[in-house]
Amino acid sequence: MSCYIRVEAVNLDNLIGDTQTLHVIRGGSALITNAIDEVAAKFGGQMRPIFSDASSGVFEASGAAMDASTAESLCEDVRGHLRSGIFRHATFVVAFALEDITSDHSFGAVCEELLAKNRWQQMQQPSLSLSCVFGAGVAAARLFCELDAIRPATEKYRSSSGSKDICAVCHDRITLGKDTKENFYEKELGPGVTLKSGFAQSFEDISKVEPAALAAKGVSPRLADKIAVIYIDGNGIGKLMRGLDDTGKVVEASKDYKNYRRQFLNELVLGRVETDRDGLWTGGKANDKYNRIELLMWGGDEMTLVVPAWKGWETLSLFYQLSKDWQLNGQLLSHAAGMVFCSHKSHIHHQVNLAHRLAGEVKACASPGNRFACQVLNGFDYVDADLDAARRPLCGESGESLLLSGLAMQGVTEGLAALREAVSRVQVYDLVEELATDSTAAASEKADKLMAALTAQVPNHAEITDCLGKGRTFWLHLRELWNFIPVDSSLAAGMPAGKGGAQ
């Protein structure tokens, strides 16, 4: 009889989603990732890791004499370790299952049993770690934390904006977030990798740039102070792994996917950000440069990134280009994504949640494939629970018709210079308004004429329509994303700025 143990960090809103401070969010995310790695290292002689995702890990306990009593004792040892040090600030659940994996009882069935036990444990404990209540200095505290507005303030935090009274939980996460940032990249990218620059310290740093500096590079100055929040999730990858009938295959598949993920991070950070060919991936002064990128989630087949708005399209396009040939157990993989363009001042957790919901629009389709959904927010726009209503724009499109092709993103970039020669931004804006308000054939005829002009003048027009859609959806996406899609500089030479350039 084999013993499987599942460790999961739960109630993440009280660890990652309770503040807007980047160091705290980063530290909370690192805490979760480190916890699973720490359990694997601490108890490596008693159990081996099988599979892990962003907030959980499944382990196989070793030993021929494993029974329920021994398994529960091992679980209690794991719980005790996760109640110490910085891990005490999070809430974890640990459960075991004594099962044998066979052709009739797959690894997935064991995972379902473990998940049910974890959820039952979660419902039996507080949703907030009580480490903040019984810690040192709490009895004398007279203030609440200025970052999360929940826990008692027992520490001082000094930042560029002044001194704040904060709780021990935020203090420890800030320390961890600062200490592990560079270490995380160097560990993920492999031995011998040393980064030339540090990383942004806030979402403002990621997006802060003079509008004139963007215009000089052919980028719309309107993108200054805006960020792109990107969430990527594999389609059925977890299900594929859980359906395997041998833990050795699960371990191998998990290892392969981590290598795929590392390939993307390597190309993004070392191939794009650090090389910074156009000077727009880094910020700061000449002797104090920092990279404009943040990873809010990185585990399993999920990732959440924040980059400057003018680099959002390039980042997601790069992922789809690299991942199109990824396979596990002989099956070709695909990914759904959600991308939100917004102000750096907007509520980051609202935007991350929106990116999740946009990716959910893709995953709800019968054949999700390598597609994504995108939302452009102005100022402090907020999308409420009715996502479909919010995404039903002026011309009445909604649902699956608004999904874009990830594999065709590069084609849009390559053809945008020629497209802007054929049609102006003003023409596109006016056409979308007419399609929304004019139900006569005149508006449709105008759209057909503009599309005919594009077909004649843009060599790869088919790739562009594959990505942005057809009919009214094409024009809507072109209007919304006009400033956010980069122009291939090798094709943009000589383009009249007044007609199609950055505005």
pLDDT per residue as tens digits for the range 160-190: 677 888 888 999 998 888 877 767 887 888 7
The predicted structure's pLDDT at residue 310: 96
Q: Where does a domain end: 75, 94, 129?
A: 129
Residues 384 and 437 in one domain: no
Residues 483 and 348 in one domain: no
- Pairing of the two strands 56-61 and 327-328: unpaired
The answer, as to whether pTM is greater than 0.85, is yes
Residues 387 and 481 in one domain: no
Task: Judge whether 362 lies within some domain.
Answer: yes
Ranges of residues in the chain with a pLDDT under 50 are: 490-501
Three-state SS for 379? coil
The CATH number of the domain where 329 resides is what?
A: 3.30.70.270
Which residues face 343 on adjacent strands? 226
Residues 322 and 460 in one domain: no
Contacts for 277-284: CB closer than 8 Å, 24+ residues apart: 278/217, 278/489, 279/217, 280/209, 280/214, 280/217, 280/219, 280/308, 280/310, 280/311, 281/308, 281/311, 282/197, 283/200, 283/205, 283/206, 283/208, 283/209, 284/197, 284/205
The predicted structure's pLDDT at residue 441: 76
Q: What DSSP string runs through 80-94?
A: HHHTSGGGGGSEEEE
The closest alpha carbon to 33, from 110, 87, 98, belongs to 87
Rounded to whole angstroms, the Cα distance separating 258 from 264 reads 10
Residues of the domain holding 234? 195-391
Task: Judge whether 148 lies within some domain.
Answer: no
Task: Judge whether 103 lies within some domain.
Answer: yes
Residues 387 and 417 in one domain: no
CA distances from 53 to 12, 153, 353 (A): 14, 33, 18
Around 223, how many Cα atoms within 13 Å sit in the side-chain half-sphere? 30
Residues 61 and 7 in one domain: yes
The predicted structure's pLDDT at residue 499: 47
Which residues face 327 on adjacent strands? 332
Residues 367 and 225 in one domain: yes
The pair phi, psi for residue 298, each rounded to 5°, is: -155, 90
- Pair of tokens at residue 436: 């929304």
The predicted structure's pLDDT at residue 340: 96
Q: Check if the beta carbon of residue 443 is closer than 8 Å to that of residue 462.
A: no
Task: Judge whether 189 lies within some domain.
Answer: no
Task: Judge whether 303 lies within some domain.
Answer: yes
The predicted structure's pLDDT at residue 500: 47
Residues 223 and 331 in one domain: yes
- In the sheet that holds 404-405, the strands lie side by side as 294-299, 302-308, 226-234, 335-343, 371-376, 404-405
Condensed to tens digits (0 to 9), the pLDDT of residues 308-337 reads 999 999 999 999 999 999 999 889 999 999
Q: Check if the beta carbon of residue 168 is closer than 8 Å to that of residue 135.
A: yes
Task: Judge whether 459 lies within some domain.
Answer: yes
Rounded to whole angstroms, the Cα distance separating 86 from 75 reads 19
How many domains is the chain partitioned into structurally?
A: 3
The pair phi, psi for residue 243, each rounded to 5°, is: -85, -5
The pair phi, psi for residue 500, each rounded to 5°, is: -130, 5
Q: Where does a domain end: 87, 113, 129?
A: 129
Task: Judge whether 151 lies within some domain.
Answer: no
Q: Check if the beta carbon of residue 203 is closer than 8 Å to that of residue 306.
A: yes
- Pair of tokens at residue 343: 């102000």
